[in-house]
Each structure stands twice: as structure tokens, then as C-alpha cells.
Amino acid sequence: MGETYEHARETVEEHARENDSWARGVAVLVSFLAAALALTGIGEKSAQNDYLTKHIAVSDDWALYQAKGQRAAIRTSEIAVLESLPNAADAAVQARIKDAQDYIARMHDDPAGGDGMKQMSEKAKVREAERDADFHRYHQFEYAAGSLELAIVLASVSVVTRVRWLAIGSGLFGAAAAAGSAAVALGLL
């Protein structure tokens, strides 16, 4: 009877140590996953801020482009009115028409000032591409963060259910998500 009791006690202690060390291992796994999630969250917010900043700049560029187009349209109307005057051949009227034509040309293309409609369009298109790239980065970070959250849930469930393959799957899934997050941060994705 004493031997059986001693054997049972040793078996219980052995399982308690084994389960505690396994639970501690899963806790360490969850800690690493949480740290990766925190870093991914930082990258996600940074990409989101970059996207929003560039989106506002693109909107500003196109608004300025439209304003310049409206100014050119007003000057075109001015030319039409001046040309319809009975004294349209007068030197003063011709000078005003020439000034309006020069102004319209500058609104459309101003290589010296760099702010003609042609230049604004080129600048806006470049910023649109940068904005779209930041939007893509933001979504990639979102996917990585969601995957890390799922890995943490799997690890937590593995502790409660004592299903080891959930912890292993969680570790593999979390490692892939963390690698994806690092690849996005390094500009590889």
C-alpha cells in the first residue's frame, strides 16, 4: 500500500511539473506573440498615418489643379469679352488680351515656377502612387496583426484544453505572421 501511494504521489508531482513547464512555455510563446503584435501595431499606425498624410496632400494638389483650371477658364471668358468689344483692335485692349493669354499659358504649364496644371498633375500622380503604397502597407500590417491575435487565441486555448498541437500550430502561425510583419516593415512586401 505504501508503495502504491508513493508511486501515485510521484506520478502526480511529475505531471504537475510537466504541465507547469508546458504552461510556462506557452506563456512565453504568448509573450513573444504579444511583443510581435505590439511592434506590428506600431508599424500599422505608422503606415496609416503616412497614408492619411499623403491622401490629404493628394487632395490638396488636385484642389489646386482645379482652382488653376477655373482661373484659366475665367481668363478665357475675359478674352472672349474683350475680343467682342467694338474697340477690340485698340492697343490697350490687345495688351489685356495678351496678358490674359499669357496668364492662361502659365496656369497650364509653368516649368519655371513648377506650379502649372501640368506640373501639379505630375506631382499629384506621384503622390497618389506613394499614398497607394502606404495604403497597401497598412493593410499588410492589419493582416499580420490579425494573424498574431489569432495565434495568441490558439495558444491560450491550448493552455485551457491542454491540446499541445494547438500550441504548436499557434507558434508556427505566429512565426509566419511575425515574419510577414517584418517583411512589410522592411519593404519586402
- Residue 65 neighbours by CB under 8 Å, 6+ apart: 117, 120, 121, 124
- What b/e readout covers 136-157, taking b as 16+ CB neighbours within 10 angstroms? ebbebbbbbbebbbebbebbbe
Q: Tell me the mean pLDDT in the region 67-95.
A: 93
pLDDT of residue 138: 96
Query: Tell me, what's the pLDDT at 135?
Result: 96
Angstrom distance (rounded) from CA 65 to CA 14 = 75
pLDDT band at 42 (very low <50, low <70, confident <90, very high): very high
Q: What is the pLDDT of residue 5?
A: 46
Which pLDDT value is given to residue 40? Answer: 95
CA of 167: how far to CAs of 14, 33, 84, 87, 115, in Å?
21, 12, 84, 90, 59
CA dihedral defined by 162, 166, 167, 171, rounded to 10 degrees?
180
pLDDT tens-digit profile of 113-155? 888 999 999 999 999 999 999 999 999 999 999 999 999 999 9
What is the per-residue pLDDT across 3-22, written as a single tens digit (0 to 9) for each?
654 544 554 455 555 567 88
- Looking at residue 158, its amino acid is S
Residue 86 has pLDDT above 80, yes or no: yes
Give the model's pLDDT for residue 79: 93
Q: Residue 51: pLDDT above 60?
A: yes
Question: Average pLDDT in the 103-119 region?
Answer: 91
Chain mean pLDDT for the chain: 89
User: What pLDDT is recorded for position 162?
Assistant: 85
185 band by pLDDT with thresholds 50, 70 and 90: very high
Q: Which of 4-18, 81-95, 96-110, 131-145 has the lowest mean pLDDT?
A: 4-18
Amino acid at 42: I
Predicted pLDDT at 112 = 87
* For residues 56-77, average pLDDT: 95
> Exposed (0-12), middle (13-18) or buried (19+): which is 135, by Cβ within 10 Å?
middle
